[in-house]
Structure 1
């Protein structure tokens, strides 16, 4: 089984709901462990030859009031291996895209209204375009739009080797446990991510129904689980 960096992803913001989200799929395992980062002020994806500190520092510093583009410009300027990186994301008041010269073809990015898309080692530029267009045209909440974007990118050719893992990560004022979903190893991770999102939504309703059966009265707050980032 071959493992090598190669990914397509989307980072997005919904200014109407103060929600930030990222979704990513790749041709190696456990992409959700290293690539997507979100906070109350930003969504960032670091990929190709990933540097997790770029994503971690970016969302932390935007939370402190810095502009995302300034933070990532600074970090990549100081990174002697920047040519091998691909980083993109959105903040409250800025977008950022970077594809290093040594990223494996096809590699590139796109900026849209309130989102960025990037990919490397892809079947072609149609993957990025399809991902972007699906995000723009899909109705629903952030999680729905992100998974639909990955599905469209995969249908357009996806990772040139085929995908092995996929993830979504969402930061919202009202967190749900389906805002942090990972498929770490699968022959069809994007399809499995869709199934996982569907089941997670159903599970939310089931947990409330089961709690109603267990208790005649209970504080609603016990069902506010929050999300681990």
Structure 2
């Protein structure tokens, strides 16, 4: 039903996540990140409250493993949930309940974790981690490389219809939140990749406009001088 990858950039401390699914609006329900704290995914039979709860535990001082233990000890219907988290030091943790759908898997690397359910095969998460670690450039570029690697490895067992990229850095808001909530042509991953290619060179300007528009570049719209 879903495959995703979460990561911390060791150079900047930024956190990011990419995700795709046959379900609509997957990123709206499953992707959660908080600047200087961490990134969390709640998927399979999704409880969207668990992502913020994992981040709250990290913000209170828990590491990834401790946060996961706290949340899974008290969350209802935990056997239906697939959870992942990356903490401020790049530590990772996951939970895969006994009621996970279809082929599922988890793979980890330094500061990165990928997982999925109802997959074409259980090697998809490892392909995503390998794609992320092999990629170069900004965090967003590496996240897109991971998402494309997951697609190329087979992705979900059926066609996907939604995808997203979420990234936080030094600001209190997401510096990138790109989503395709429904794609009839089953190509949302490609659409998110194109959106990132357009947005990435403009991202610093959008951040500067938020912080101090007097020092920002022109807006690039008709009538703007």
TM-score range, shorter chain: 0.7 to 0.9
| Residues 1:12 and 2:7 aligned together | yes
Gaps of 5+ in 2: 219-225
Instruction: Give the equivalent residue in structure 2 for 1:88.
Output: 84
Instruction: Give the equivalent residue in structure 1 for 2:128.
Output: 131
Instruction: Give the equivalent residue in structure 1 for 2:51.
Output: 55
Counterpart selection for 2:115 from 115, 118, 131: 118
Contact 2:129–2:146 (CA under 8 A) maintained in structure 1: yes
The number of residue pairs the alignment matches comes to 210
Instruction: Give the equivalent residue in structure 2 for 1:195.
Output: 194
Contact 1:11–1:43 (CA under 8 A) maintained in structure 2: yes
Counterpart selection for 1:74 from 70, 81, 85: 70
| Residues 1:45 and 2:41 aligned together | yes
Instruction: Give the equivalent residue in structure 2 for 1:21.
Output: 16
The Cα of 1:98 is off from its aligned counterpart by: 1.3
Counterparts in 2 of 1:97-112, with a 5 A limit? 97-112=94-109
Quick one: distance in 1 between partners of 2:57 and 2:150?
A: 30
Contact 1:76–1:82 (CA under 8 A) maintained in structure 2: yes
Contact 2:120–2:155 (CA under 8 A) maintained in structure 1: yes
Contact 1:178–1:201 (CA under 8 A) maintained in structure 2: no
Describe the shift of the 1:195–1:177 C-alpha distance in structure 2 as closer, same or farther (beyond 3 A): farther
Contact 1:36–1:44 (CA under 8 A) maintained in structure 2: yes
**Alignment RMSD, CA only?**
2.4
Describe the shift of the 1:79–1:57 C-alpha distance in structure 2 as closer, same or farther (beyond 3 A): closer
Contact 2:105–2:124 (CA under 8 A) maintained in structure 1: no
